[in-house]
Amino acid sequence: MSTSPRAAQQKFEPWKDPEAKPYVRIEKITKQFGDFLAVDDVSLDIYKKEIFCLLGASGCGKTTLLRMLAGFERPTSGRIYIDGVDMTSIPPYERPVNMMFQSYAVFPHMTVEQNVAFGLKQEGLPRTEIAKRVVDMLDLVKLGQFAKRKPHQLSGGQRQRVALARSLVKKPKLLLLDEPLAALDKKLREHTQFELINIQETLGVTFIVVTHDQEEAMTLSSRIGLMNHGEIIQVGTPSEMYEYPASRFAAEFIGSVNMFEGRLIEDEPSYVRIECDDLEVPIYVDHGISSSPGATVWAAIRPEKIMMSREKPQQADNWASAIVQDIAYMGDMSIYLLRLDSGKVVRITQPNTYRHADDRITWDERVHLSWHPESPVVVTK
Amino acid sequence: MKQGITVFRAIVLTLGFAFLYIPIASLIVYSFNESRLVTVWGGFSTKWYGALFRNEQILNAAWLSIKVAVLSATLAVVLGTLAGMVLARFGPFKGRTLLSGLTTAPLVMPEVITGLSLLLLFVTMEQLIGWPAGRGMTTIVISHITFTMAFVTVVVQSRLSQMDDSLEEAAMDLGARPHKVFFLITLPIIFPALLSGWLLAFTLSLDDLVITSFVAGPGSSTLPMVIFSKVRLGVSPDINALATILVVIVAIGALVAGIFTARQKKIRDRDAQMALAANQQMIESLKKG
Ligand SMILES: Nc1ncnc2c1ncn2[C@@H]1O[C@H](COP(=O)(O)OP(=O)(O)O)[C@@H](O)[C@H]1O
Ligand SMILES: [Mg+2]
């Protein structure tokens, strides 16, 4: 799983600062199409210079939310503030916001240069300034040599850059990107992700990015807003979303996870024990949760946090016995699918630290799994 | 077996072409006939072309037809574009079905009915408001707009529904007000559709006989009306000459359109190659960087 390079570089956490004013405030926004609720009571605060990702499956209302920020859809109820100004009923051509469309929407009858200059011409800027800003922007996105080309003479990746340059050259307060990388092939996508972050940091623009790809969200974002059926399920940094999912949906949507359904048999402030039908021994978690004894809960354990050995572990809790059902060699690591005696299949990953490991665990072997008491995340919904 | 199919194919092809082109070929051949009798060959001559260009009635009718066709095609494109735009872009507003039905009704309405109802309309209007006074070019142009606009609307609407909506939204997003979006983005992109709509309207107007006969007045006969009335008295060789000229004009038009399309295809192929090369270049530079 990739982690955000931003988080590694510096501490950028305005959302933790009670003094910080949100740059974009989405207040109880609802959008109905007829009887259909596309966006359901969404409230979000987004801060200056963030890359905020709206993540969710196709059809969950991400684009609709973005289009309300751009001004193409009127919210059924709720308000939108940008930099403190109420934008709810301002038309798109008067908002200090630009959007990069999923189809890129590059004007087919104009050259690259004309595409990028279009927005500046609408502002009525002097010709020399337009020319200068267009050249600078084309250099930034590495399209200088293609300035005179028409869009149909460009590759998909280049068209994406034209769309990006065209919105950024207007120096918007906020850039909205709808699935910016979905149309690119995998290699180009990875490269473009990092370039997008670089450009965002160079210009200091606030980005709101819509994506259905959780890896893309993890790589790009300062924070993620996870959506389902028009609602925001959870908001957090990529590592919070991965390590502390608040629901089964969040745990399963981001990364892969082994989910054990069980009952709370011991519920103390400092630890809990969970009895699962799939496991012989209980799961022991070294922190308390807010639920009551006997309640149905789920313990989510990430594949890389489960250890595997031939010997039976010494501890009383947090282990299981299984048979190797399948192994997938991925190069940097291997994925093992292990069948518990109950029939449940558990997925674990192991790094391939050594090149020649002679006694590697192989197909149909009986093995023992174990995990640390801090590893499971217990969710109640 | 294979031989059989080839022979069969050749016969069908020959018969098909013969069916389509023999009438036209004979028309062209007889336009150079010396004899006054259309079906008797009397030797080669171009005298009927001379006669044609001295025939005031035919020249006047041709000029009127061209004026009517240009005027009504142009106005039909303006109105048809507005209607197509409203139908394709304004969503499910109240009365949309009615508008859609009204604009496209002339496509399915028998021409006699369209012609008769327009005539009744013009007569009533003249009695009530005194306009249009009498029947002539004005009434012909109005009638031609009515039925050619339906075709333009359909062409424009289908082109607009193929067009990516987000192009217009992107322009608005970049600060263009709605009327600028229309003139700077929508219009240039749908321009080829407008052009073909105009040509369609022009051709339809040029050869309409039925509707025109209802709404034309004395002294405002169009070319199809003159040809039709002359032919009723027997086919005369100067009509053959006129028809030959029309065939030549149409053939040149088709040829130019063909060459144009072929050139477009060549340009498209070249552009596709360029995009492919650009992609390659980008991948190379990614590998290096
Ligand atoms: N203009 C519209 N009219 C009716 N339904 C719409 C419209 N736009 C979007 N929807 C519906 O709203 C839901 C959310 O759409 P969208 O925001 O595009 O989802 P996402 O971008 O997350 O895939 C979808 O079910 C879609 O069919
Ligand atoms: Mg979408």
**Fold that domain A5-96+172-248 belongs to in CATH:** Rossmann fold (3.40.50)
CA A258 to CA A215: how far, in whole Å? 18
For the Cβ of A241 lying below 6 angstroms from any atom of ligand 1, the answer is: no
Q: How far apart are CA A245 and CA A257, in angstroms?
A: 11
If DSSP codes are grouped into helix, strand and coil, which group holds residue A288? coil
Complex prediction ipTM: 0.84
Query: What CATH code would you report for A256-379?
Result: 2.40.50.140
* Ranges for all domains in chain A classified under CATH 3.40.50.300: 5-96+172-248
User: Is residue A202 very low, low, confident or very high in pLDDT (cuts 50, 70, 90)?
Assistant: confident
B281: helix, strand or coil: helix
pLDDT score recorded for residue A43: 94
Report yes or no on B103 lying in a domain: yes
Nearest ligand to the CA atom of A228: 1
How confident is the prediction for chain B on average, in pLDDT? 89
Q: Are A98 and B174 in contact (CB < 8 Å)?
A: yes
Domain presence at residue B184? yes
At B206, which CATH number? Answer: 1.10.3720.10
Average model confidence (pLDDT) for chain A? 89
Query: pLDDT tens across A79-112, in order?
Result: 999 999 999 999 999 999 999 999 999 999 999 9
Tell which wins on pLDDT, A315 or B177: B177
Task: Note whether residue B235 is domain-resident.
Answer: yes
- Ligand 1 nearest-atom number relative to CA A58: 23
* Partners of residue A107 on adjacent β-strands: none
Q: In this complex, do A93 and B275 lie within 8 Å of one another by their Cβ atoms?
A: no
pLDDT computed for residue B2 by the predictor: 64
Tell me the pLDDT tens digit for each residue of A232-271: 999 999 999 999 999 999 999 998 999 999 988 888 888 8
Domain that holds residue B135: 56-266
DSSP state, residue A246:
S
Q: Counting Cβ atoms within 10 Å, is residue B86 exposed (0-12), middle (13-18) or buried (19+)?
A: middle
Q: What is the pLDDT of residues A124-145, one digit of tens each?
A: 999 999 999 999 999 988 899 9
Cβ A35 under 6 angstroms from ligand 1:
no
Rounded distance from Cα A241 to ligand 2 centre (Å): 22
Cβ-nearest to B170 among A105, A109, A123: A105
Q: Is residue B217 part of a domain?
A: yes
Query: What percentage of residues in chain B have a pLDDT greater than 90?
Result: 46
Q: Please return the burial class of A373, using the count of CB atoms within 10 Å of its CB with bins 0-12, 13-18 and 19+.
A: middle
**Amino acid, res. B154:** V
Q: How many domains does chain B have?
A: 1
Give the per-residue pLDDT at A280.
87
Strand partners, A257: none
Q: What is the mean pLDDT of residues A115-125?
A: 94
In a domain? residue B29: no
Of residues B167, B177, B279, nearest to A107 (C-beta): B167
Which pLDDT tens digit goes with each residue over A27-53?
A: 999 999 999 999 999 999 999 999 999
User: Which regions of chain A does DSSP assign to beta strands (E)?
Assistant: 24-33, 36-46, 51-55, 77-82, 85-86, 97-100, 174-178, 206-211, 223-228, 231-236, 258-267, 272-276, 283-285, 296-301, 307-309, 319-329, 333-340, 345-351, 366-370, 377-379
Delimiting residues of CATH 2.40.50.140 domain(s) in chain A: 256-379
Q: In this model, does residue B246 exceed pLDDT 90?
A: no
Taking the alpha carbons at both ends of chain B, their separation in whole angstroms is 63
pLDDT digits (tens, 9 = 90+) for B63-122: 999 999 999 999 999 999 999 999 998 888 888 899 888 888 888 889 999 999 999 999
Q: What are the angstrom distances between the C-alpha of B123 and each of B118, B127, B134, B222?
A: 9, 6, 8, 20
Phi, then psi, of A50 in degrees rounded to 5: -80, 155
What residue's CA is closest to ligand 1, atom 7? A33
pLDDT at B286: 65
| A55 Cβ below 6 A of ligand 1 | no
| Domain presence at residue B176 | yes
- Contact present, A171 and A129 (Cβ < 8 Å): no
Comparing CA positions, the residue from B198, B219, B120 lying closest to residue B155 is: B198
Confidence of residue A10 (pLDDT cuts 50, 70, 90): low
Chain B environment of A71 (Cβ under 8 Å): 173
